[in-house]
Amino acid sequence: MFDNPAAWLLAALVAPCAFLAIKYWQQALFAVFVLLVFEGALRKWAVPSAQAQMYLVKDGILLAVYLGFILDSLRKRFEPKGVGSIKTILIVGLVWGCIEVFNPNSPAILVGFIGLKSYFLYAPVAFILPYAIKSREHLFVLIRRYIIMAIPVAALGFMQIAAGPESRLNVYVSSEDTPTMIAYFGEKGDLVRTSGTFSYISGYVVFLNFIAFLAIGYNMAHGWRLKNNITPFLALILVIGAMFTTGSRGPIWILVATGPVILWLAAKSRILSRQIAMRLFMLVPVIIILALSVSPEAAVKGFMERAEQADTSYTLERLYQPAWETSWALLGAPLGLGIGVANNAALTIMGAEFPWWLGDLIFESEMARVTTELGVIGFLLTYSLRLLIAAFALRCAMRFKDPAYRALGTVLAVHLALGVIGSIMLNPTAGLYYWGALGLVLAMCRLEQSAAEFETVLVRRADTTNLKPALPNAGAARRRPS
């Protein structure tokens, strides 16, 4: 490490960058979400010798952002109804997680600290993001820019699968000691599973899925009009097309499954008028056809072949896997083995090739891993929190007065509901987008409440202005002799 010039350069930049992140914490928070997208590209291609240090940069920036937010004491704190319960469960979960750091079954305390980071480092983003968004226009400008930023990232997926396995474009993050093998899919097994600008396939898949939801919410907030919204439509088409290049069936099935739910919620919240429904009826087939057209034919064919290989028994097995794995974890570790012990980083910390400290409690699903680490108490705290967040987001989405807020809030609520069964702690990209989605919901709550308070002040001022001329005349009338 000390012989690595890139590591020394990053270390020299720590102090000035931390100071800037504290002073300009709003801009630094937005920068974290941009860095999240291009962090993998920096680790794979720009500074592979310092890829471990580069991985921690966004976490360091976030810590500086939190400090900057705390020091900004002049800012009025806002808390809509229901957030108090979320914070309470989150704090109780943090206390239990700290206790589990010192679990005697844990192989090292450092493993516990990594576990705390995975569970709780990104959670404050949800409660800080609302204060970084200044207005309704600012909110939708930020979302539009983030969606547009996804266009070249999605296009890179097409380039990667066309370049072939020997191309420098097709690499995953790896260390010198343990090089990472490239993953393939397709009937002949010769198609590279793309990772875009991300370190691994999992991060790219989460990004494409989140951008697809964000683009759907943005376009729905604008009534699915093509006028002045061509770019968000293009981004949605390219993102869906890029999903086929990953070889992962999950994002496609998620869109197929959640599409009717989003439409039903949109109709229930009175944002799906007959005119918009007809417009959407014509646009959806066009989006699907264009997405299949822009995606390489080999990628679409390979995806279809992989999907056909998964028979009904395999699908049912995947659906029930979290349930039976969690049941087995509850029996094997009712009080948990220690936070972080089932994290992938634990192997690196311990310098081991096999997690011997887990015994036979080695599982794939996050639900079972959470149970293995935190036991029944941690399981209840973690998943009651996720259910509460999903219910809170849906309630907010249904109650927003602004139709654009209801449209975006509906899609974000569905995204947060998927977090109940999804991987949040084991995937840093998913974790940041999960808490960021909650932050967007809270931001809309804050903006709408601020607008309502502003209108109330204007009405009161108007009433006072109308009363002022009448008061002197009334007094003069009372003093005038009869």
Q: Which domain holds residue 6?
A: 1-75
Specify whether 94 is located in the same domain as 14.
no
172-204 in b/e form (b: 16+ CB < 10 A) is bbbeeeeeeeebebbeeeebbbbbbbbbbbbbb
pLDDT of amino acid 104: 95
User: What residues contact residue 202 under an 8 Å CB cut-off, 6+ apart?
Assistant: 423, 427, 429
Structure-token match 């602004």, residue found: 402
Beta bridge partners of 192: 184
Which of 75, 91, 108 delimits the end of a domain? Answer: 75
The SS3 assignment for 185 reads strand
Distance, in Å, from the CA atom of 147 to the CA atom of 136, rounded to the nearest integer, reads 17
**How many angstroms separate the Cα of 369 from the Cα of each of 89, 116, 327, 344, 375?**
20, 14, 11, 11, 9
Specify whether 200 is located in the same domain as 226.
yes
pTM: 0.91
Specify whether 143 is located in the same domain as 68.
no
Least Cα distance to 29 among 66, 56, 1 occurs for 66
pLDDT of amino acid 474: 46
How many domains, in total, are found in the chain? 2
Distance, in Å, from the CA atom of 361 to the CA atom of 337, rounded to the nearest integer, reads 10
Specify whether 99 is located in the same domain as 167.
yes
The SS3 assignment for 147 reads helix
Residues written for the chain: 482
Specify whether 39 is located in the same domain as 124.
no
pLDDT of amino acid 476: 44
**Is 140 contained in some domain?**
yes
pLDDT of amino acid 481: 45
Paired tokens of 306 = 């992989």
Specify whether 340 is located in the same domain as 403.
yes
Specify whether 168 is located in the same domain as 134.
yes
For residue 181, the Cα-to-chain-centroid distance in whole angstroms is: 27
Q: Looking at this protein, which amino acid is placed at residue 206? A: V
Task: Report angle CA 26, 200, 323 to the nearest 5 degrees.
Answer: 95
Specify whether 329 is located in the same domain as 387.
yes
| Tens-binned pLDDT, residue by residue, of the chain (482 aa) | 446 665 666 666 677 888 888 999 999 999 999 999 999 999 989 888 888 888 889 999 999 999 999 998 655 666 777 799 999 999 999 999 999 999 999 999 999 999 999 999 999 999 999 999 999 999 999 999 999 999 999 999 999 999 988 888 998 887 555 556 788 887 777 889 999 999 999 999 999 999 999 999 999 999 999 888 999 999 999 999 999 999 888 899 999 999 999 999 999 988 988 888 888 889 999 999 999 999 988 888 888 877 776 655 556 666 678 889 999 999 999 999 999 999 988 998 998 889 999 999 999 899 999 999 999 999 999 999 999 999 999 999 999 999 999 999 999 999 999 999 889 998 999 999 999 999 999 999 999 988 766 556 555 666 556 555 544 444 444 444 43
Paired tokens of 366 = 């996050």
Specify whether 61 is located in the same domain as 154.
no
**Is 326 contained in some domain?**
yes
Distance, in Å, from the CA atom of 135 to the CA atom of 446, rounded to the nearest integer, reads 10
Alpha helices in 269-296 (DSSP H): 274-294
Structure-token match 């993050």, residue found: 173
